[in-house]
Structure 1
């Protein structure tokens, strides 16, 4: 009886959180072949296909079969650190959020806000939005060890983690995690996903272009995110870092998974809400109901939406992900209405099948309620303790090598 009441309360709370924003826009289906022309000649509309659905499905098959090329890149040559006042870049128009944004701007203008360092470089994947193509990652370097600490710990490898927050995150989301990792001696890059915060085109209130009813653009956004993660690893290596991890939440976990599947340097992976098929989440999730509506208006079904997003689905790269050793955390929520529980359990079942070394943690809440008290502290504990232990083990393994 109590469990049913709790579930009812949780689903009601979750639904309230996912429906409070009024600026979600239903945009019509666009196949977006022009976004993929640089990769596949099948995107050329002069090629002979019965319909656009068949063409997009074929392109996804090519992406999966040639993913090393699709997610490949040339290392950027313009890495630089910039110092500026951090900004919120809100994605909703709720009064409390706008007030927070105004207060931060006031503090910056009056010199009450500390400046922060940001890694900037040009993404190897170019879009039609110049602001989106300048990658942005807030830099949290771990403090240098004192001589006493060095003497006690011995030679410790420099370690760093890339952090990717959820879809439509503002620029302050997950920053507290980065400062926590610093306390463990782990540096952090809090990476802004494509079309997010400072990378968001001026025409948008939300980060809609990262996931939308424009299929080609959504696929290209994932490609860019994965390449940006790998480029950040290149910069970290140039700074003397030796051991690397990635943490992703929700959409960020999808990007982080695909990056880890294609880059063996990522030995520590934390997935905060995970799923197997990108299209299933789009179709069933509360936060993407406006995108599903566009697909339904065009006559698509859940199975067809799964097909047109196969190229950016973690399930497509499960075997590749498992091929190199890594320590993995998967967190899912029992009452999740955005990444349904069954999809997260499917991730765990596949990890078992492929022999992935993972830890599973379960939150007694939903997707959006993960960010609410007390669940956010549980979530932070799971992520923080895992990252600490995983990097500690990595360091011990390296120190044991003669």
Structure 2
């Protein structure tokens, strides 16, 4: 299994080792003007000390960091669903070319996408237009049934079709779904990139800003769903998506159903030990950073910093982890479960007998889909029953 996992993580040849940058300029309001102006003249140890202080400030002022103003330009648009691949394997490029050909001749059906301007702005205009493919569930025959919706965040470097099958599955349960393009992914990816490198890179500030933008985009999607009459909400994230989903749920009590498909407590631990981030690790090592340094600078975007906040509001959570995971090491997933138990989170744990990348292979992808689908079905059913019971109790009290 380890050999299979390693083969899958090394088949892409377009990962780039970029020099380490501190990226204070990506964190205005948390990094000071002196940090931004003196980054290139300070020593590594001085910049490290300052970035750790910035990360600590993000943790302490997380309501501000992950806060936002609701967008005012929500709109549904019809677009051709294209692939936006992040690898250059011949079979992937052929699939991409065929979809573009079908779109050009009118053989491809358009799909609805929610679009709006992200409350967090970057220097890349294409990244700042949020994109979420919309999968509305059919209207239920019972008008009293609460409208329910999931927000879906696939893995790092996912193409635009990843996790779409889960959305159609949730529709069969009567649950609508927004499949969110994370910052720097698919249609939001700057033209200068082949991969979604700017979401996680050796530019520390930009990586944290990408997490901030993702969390704010999730919360903005909730605002739109509420405006459409939805009442009960969940979020599903895979790998990097699970980090974004967790932090969003920790800061937004509307998210009552939370499915984490591969999970870890520390962002820095995954960067340092994971196979997917070898090119990022290489840059950090060249700069002289240690594992502890990387853990500290990314504390502000780590689930471990917000565990108590996550547990403060009622929610149902699923954690899926893989026994032979070389990207989110098993020990880190077990730390998540231990923290959930410590803080009294209502959770379900499921284990896959494979690794991180092999989760997408047969038969493991079907096992994973069963875990995710059955959990979402049961969790939303439980929410509906709780609401019905509450209404009955309210009616009984009024009748007295």
- TM-score, normalization: structure 2? 0.95
Structure 1 residue aligned with 2:362: 373
Does 1:33 find its partner at 2:24?
yes
Aligned positions of 1:85-164 closer than 5 A:
85-145=80-140, 149-150=141-142, 155-164=144-153
Does 1:55 find its partner at 2:50?
yes
Structure 2 residue aligned with 1:310: 299
Corresponding residue SS for 1:121? strand
Structure 1 residue aligned with 2:283: 294
Counterparts of 2:89 and 2:164, CA distance in 1: 21
Corresponding residue SS for 2:233? strand
Counterparts of 1:392 and 1:348, CA distance in 2: 24
Structure 2 residue aligned with 1:386: 375
Counterparts of 1:387 and 1:393, CA distance in 2: 10
Counterparts of 1:340 and 1:32, CA distance in 2: 27
Corresponding residue SS for 2:125? coil
Q: Deviations over 1:193-249 (max 9, x none)?
A: 000000000000000000000000000000000000000000000000000000000
Counterparts of 2:37 and 2:308, CA distance in 1: 33
The Cα RMSD (Å) is 1.3
Structure 2 residue aligned with 1:345: 334
Structure 2: gaps (5+ residues):
392-400
Structure 2 residue aligned with 1:330: 319
Structure 1 residue aligned with 2:64: 69
Corresponding residue SS for 1:76? coil
How many pairs are equivalent?
387
Counterparts of 1:119 and 1:265, CA distance in 2: 20
Corresponding residue SS for 1:156? coil
Counterparts of 2:106 and 2:26, CA distance in 1: 42
Counterparts of 1:109 and 1:329, CA distance in 2: 41
Q: Deviations over 1:351-372 (max 9, x none)?
A: 0100000000000000000000
Corresponding residue SS for 1:137? strand
Structure 2 residue aligned with 1:217: 206
- TM-score, normalization: structure 1? 0.95
Shift of 1:112: 2.0
Structure 2 residue aligned with 1:186: 175
Does 1:259 find its partner at 2:254?
no
Counterparts of 1:38 and 1:102, CA distance in 2: 43
Q: Deviations over 1:290-316 (max 9, x none)?
A: 100000001111111000100000000
Counterparts of 1:45 and 1:386, CA distance in 2: 49
Does 1:177 find its partner at 2:166?
yes
Structure 2 residue aligned with 1:24: 15
Structure 2 residue aligned with 1:204: 193
Aligned partners of 2:271 and 2:277 also within 8 Å: yes
Corresponding residue SS for 1:400? helix
Shift of 1:39: 3.7
Corresponding residue SS for 1:91? coil
